Amino acid sequence: MGIFAFALDGSLTAIRTARVDIVGVMALGTVTAIGGGIIRDVLLGETPATFQDWRYLVTALAGCTLAFFLSRQLTHLSKPILVFDAAGLSLFVVIGATKALEFGFGPLQAVILGVITGVGGGTIRDVLLNRVPTVLSANSHLYAIPAMIGAGFVVLVDLTGFGPGWIAVIGALLCFTIRILALVYRWNAPNPPGAPPL
C-alpha cells in the first residue's frame, strides 16, 4: 500500500513539475516508491529488498501506470493522495527502523535509517526533477518530524526490551497522526533565526 501510494504521488509530481515522457513518469514514480528502501538496504550492506521480490516493482509500476493515464483526474484528488502518502510514510519509517535494529544498528542510526526509508525516495525524485527536496524546505508541513517521532518511538520501546509486534503499529499511527495534523493546521518546523517569513 505504501509503495502504491508513493508511486502514485511520485508520478503525479513528475507530470506536474517537468516535461517528462512515459519513461520519466514510470522511472520517477518507481524511484519515489522504492528509493528510500534501496538507500537503507545499501547502507545496511544488503541486497535491496525490492530486487529480491518482484512484487514490489510490479506494485510500483502499477501505481505509475495509473498515474500516467489518469493524471488529469487524479490532480483533483490531491487530498486523498496526501493521506495515502502519510500512510506510506508511516509504514516505511517503522519498517526501516525495525529492520535497522534487527541488523544490530544502534538507536540513533536506526532512527536515521527509518527516516531515510520514508523520505529517501521522494528526495531522489526531487533531485532528479531539479528541485530542492520538499522534505528539506521550510514549507514541508513537518514531513520529516513525524517520521523521526515514529521511528524514535519504535527504537525507544525496543531499548526498554519491552514488546515487539503491535509497538510498530503505534509508532506508525503516531507518525501518521502528527503528519495529518501538520497538514490540516499548516504546522511548519522552526526556521533559522533571522530567516524572512514564508
Query: For binding to a second copy (CB under 8 A), which residues are involved?
Result: 14-15, 18-25, 27-28, 38, 42-48, 51, 54, 57-58, 68-69, 71-72, 105-106, 108-109, 112-113, 123, 127-133, 135-140, 143-145, 188-195, 198
- Measured between alpha carbons, how far is 122 from 85 in angstroms, rounded to an integer? 11
Nearest to a second copy of 45, 163 (CB atom): 45
Nearer to a second copy, 5 or 128 (CB): 128
Which CB sits closer to a second copy, 166 or 181?
A: 181
Residue 105, CB-side half-sphere exposure with 13 Å CA sphere: 21
Q: How far apart are CA 128 and CA 194, in angstroms?
A: 31
Q: How far is the CB of 5 from a second copy (least distance, A)?
A: 19
Amino acid making up residue 108: L
Question: Is 78 or 139 the residue whose CB approaches a second copy more closely?
Answer: 139
Residue 165 CB, shortest distance to a second copy, in Å, is 26
Cβ proximity of 181 and 187 under 8 Å? yes
52 touches 63 (CB < 8 A):
no
